Amino acid sequence: MSPRSDLPISGHVFRRDGARGPVWLARYRLPDGRQVKRKIGPAWTGGGRAAPGYYTRRSAQRRLDETLSKARAGRLPGMTRTNVLVSHAAAEYLRWLQQDRGRKPSTLRDYASILRAHIIPSFGNLRIEDVTTDAVEAWSTQLAERMGNRTRLKILTVFHGLMKRAARVWRLPSNPLSDVEKPAQVKATEISVFSPEEIYALVRAAESEQDAAIFLSAAFTGLRRGELVALRWRSVDFPRRHIRVVASYTERALSTPKSGRARSVPMAPAVAHALARLWQERPDVTEDELVFPGVFGEYLDASALYRRYKAVLERAGLRPLRFHDLRHTFGTQIIGNPAVSILQLKEWMGHADIDTTMQYLHFAPRAGDADLVAEAFEASGPAQTSIADPDGLPGP
């Protein structure tokens, strides 16, 4: 039901003694005729300025005036009566993401899992108009007791998207999640990478030539695991020495690369040689077939590949880094080459924004950086030969 504007909006505050002391309450009437009673907060009975969290008659009245102002502007939560449950709005949200927004199957499964495990159990039986900022913030505080900020932020982001869609579909005056305080994000400052020697040790210890080519390609091209699994021979251009990345296979579903765009990645000689050997070992292979197929020519089982990868790490005596760290290895090795710009690396790695690529910059010391610093200090003062002279440096 849409709020009526023909009835006056009015209200008053009053004090009542509760079990834990006196409290201020408000009673007001909405345009549709409904009478609402809300608790404002504990009443201040001492002298002087009220303690934090307590209300005097004047501050309680200001709180009511703010509420009535929102009601007159049609922005007060609870004014619109939809009787639509959050669980129903969640189903609509997933439908919209899939059919109207074209989100990837892996994204839909991730969102559905969050809705099912966290949001529906706590809010599923609540009407969307009854979801309040205070209730969500209290729930978010409880989540903080059992999970980190990054996971909690992801859950709140999904809930925000759900309620934003609900506000549009069912004409809610506002999205209560818009005012929820977001948990602080701590950006990762360190990433783990392999050295070139470790990459070759990993390749030598691989169970098969195909696994060896996968590990080498991941480190020397920066392709994600799903992009490697979806790679077909028609995307491998030996004459032009590049690989065209057009698809990704994750969670048993084929989709576009993570950025949503195709890209070309240079093919180093070592990768070209490894892939050429695979091509030559399969005399009947066609350009439409997968470069790294499973047992019966279907998509490679990613979990089985990861188990073999972990076994190879142990067999080669290498650190237990993630498969994704092969991709990080590519980024750190390339950013150290002064002939490669950060924009080139961004395109090769398929990053959606430059900030993601910037994480590799601290791995990019230039050979002449020390000379530049020395020149800067020499230009600002008298030369210090005892410091600038390389012959004066301590020996090994």
The CATH label, of 1.10.150.570, 1.10.443.10, 2.40.10.220, 3.20.20.70, for the domain at 196-360 is 1.10.443.10
For the chain, how many residues are written? 396
Helices (H), the chain: 57-72, 86-95, 105-114, 120-123, 133-144, 149-169, 196-204, 209-221, 225-230, 269-281, 302-316, 324-335, 342-349, 354-357, 369-379, 385-388
The list of the chain residues with pLDDT below 50 reads 1-4, 383-390, 392-394, 396
Q: Which residue ranges make up each domain of the chain? A: 10-72, 86-179, 196-360
Query: Which strands form 10-18's sheet, in the order they lie side by side?
Result: 10-18, 21-29, 35-42
Question: What are the C-alpha distances in Å from 109 to residues 58, 94, 98, 166, 253?
Answer: 50, 9, 11, 20, 11
The per-residue pLDDT for 189 is: 55
CA distance 325 to 322: 5
Q: 295 is written with which tokens?
A: 């047992």
Residue 5's closest CA among 27, 33, 28? 33
| Domain 86-179: CATH class, spelled out | mainly alpha
The per-residue pLDDT for 1 is: 42
Question: What are the C-alpha distances in Å from 105 to residues 255, 263, 303, 349?
Answer: 8, 21, 18, 22
Cβ atoms within 10 Å of 174's Cβ, excluding its own: 17
The sign one gets for the Cα dihedral 15, 17, 23, 29 is negative
The per-residue pLDDT for 256 is: 87
CA distance 173 to 354: 36
